């Protein structure tokens, strides 16, 4: 019963083979572990990349509840409404701040309506939409900016750029296909600025090259002035001028006289 040297060396050989395969398995395990950690550290993880700004997070919740049904998941747009990526905070502040959004009825135009969100909620929604892609921010002005603004110059800019749609007095007017340019009597200075930089629906965008920020303030000052002027002598008639106002008064007066004459004739 002698263990031949050949058989014992065969056993030793088998043992070392098993040790080697264990070692290589451990090596593969360690490499995989390191790769995994590297991936976790470097990869753009879904959660890790979203903003930690609490306003953005609150805005995302509000968006998912009130806007995503039309504008789609993460503002990518859907059949019922356009994408909001890159429209900017200014567009959200304008659309939600004038009650146009959330849209109530699909029609030729989204009208000004009751505002459904608080000021803070509007800022949160705007922060969320701004986080989706760069776009015009909410404008800020101070008293010094207003002092620079030249109202007369603003009036001439208004007549060249805005009056063809909004009328000389900013009282609005009809466009084609059931669309209309609304009256500016309810617009706040910020909303007027936002309308110019975002161009809602049929309104063109007036970029800073076309109308500089100072010129925008001049236009806003002009709109504020015509809003605060009372209409002496009754209805404003769109402030089209003394001649046409006389014509309207004259025709209406004659009309009433004709009706009165017919009435007297019928009684006689």
Q: Considering beta carbons, is residue 45 or 204 the nearer one to ligand HEC? A: 204
| One character per residue 91-110, x = contact with ligand HEC (rule: CB under 6 A) | xx--xx-x-xxxx-----xx
The token pair at 42 is 């470097």
Q: Which of residues 208-247 bind ligand HEC (CB under 6 A)?
A: 219
CA distance 155 to 132: 37
CA distance 162 to 205: 11
Query: Is residue 201 close enough to count as binding ligand HEC by CB under 6 A?
Result: yes
Q: Considering beta carbons, is residue 61 or 259 the nearer one to ligand HEC? A: 61
Per CB under 6 A, the segment of 39-47, 48-56, 187-195, 253-261 that binds ligand HEC is 187-195
Query: Is residue 202 close enough to count as binding ligand HEC by CB under 6 A?
Result: yes
Sequence-distant (≥ 6) Cβ neighbours of residue 24 within 8 angstroms: none
CB of 243 to ligand HEC, least distance (A): 25
Q: Which of 191, 221, 224, 226 binds ligand HEC (CB under 6 A)?
A: 191
The candidate with the shortest Cα–Cα distance to 138, out of 147, 148, 127, 128, is 127
Query: Is residue 86 close enough to count as binding ligand HEC by CB under 6 A?
Result: no
Q: Considering beta carbons, is residue 84 or 149 the nearer one to ligand HEC? A: 84
Contact by Cβ (8 Å): 193, 262: no
CA distance 237 to 217: 27
The candidate with the shortest Cα–Cα distance to 128, out of 82, 72, 64, is 64
Cβ neighbour number for residue 169 with a 10 Å cutoff: 21
CA distance 46 to 151: 51
Q: Please give the residue ranges that form the binding site for ligand HEC (CB under 6 A).
A: 66-67, 69-71, 80-82, 84, 87, 91-92, 95-96, 98, 100-103, 109-110, 112, 125, 161-162, 164-166, 175, 179, 181-182, 184, 186-187, 191-192, 195-196, 198, 200-204, 206, 219
């Amino acid at each position: 019963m002698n263990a031949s040297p050949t058989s014992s060396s065969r056993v030793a050989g088998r043992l070392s083979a098993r040790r080697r395969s264990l070692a290589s398995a451990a090596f593969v395990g360690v490499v995989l572990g390191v790769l995994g950690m590297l991936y976790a550290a470097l990869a753009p993880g879904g959660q890790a990349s979203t903003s930690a700004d609490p306003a953005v997070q609150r805005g995302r919740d509000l968006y998912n509840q009130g806007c995503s049904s039309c504008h789609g998941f993460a503002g990518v747009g859907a059949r019922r409404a356009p994408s909001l990526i890159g429209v900017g905070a200014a567009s959200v502040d304008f659309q939600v701040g004038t009650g146009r959004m959330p849209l109530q009825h699909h029609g030729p135009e989204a009208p000004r309506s009751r505002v459904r969100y608080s000021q803070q909620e509007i800022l949160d929604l705007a922060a969320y939409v701004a986080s989706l892609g760069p776009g015009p921010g909410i404008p800020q002005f101070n008293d010094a900016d207003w002092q620079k603004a030249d109202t007369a110059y603003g009036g001439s800019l208004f007549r060249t750029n805005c009056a063809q749609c909004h009328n000389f007095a900013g009282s609005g007017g009809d466009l084609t296909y059931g669309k209309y340019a609304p009256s500016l009597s309810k617009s706040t200075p910020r909303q007027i600025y936002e309308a110019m930089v975002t161009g809602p629906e049929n309104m063109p965008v007036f970029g800073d090259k076309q109308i500089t920020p100072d010129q925008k303030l001049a236009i806003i000052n002009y709109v504020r002035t015509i809003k605060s002027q009372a209409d002496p002598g009754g209805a404003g008639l769109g402030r089209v001028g003394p001649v046409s106002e006389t014509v309207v008064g004259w025709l209406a007066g004659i009309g009433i006289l004709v009706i009165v004459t017919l009435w007297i004739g019928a009684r006689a």
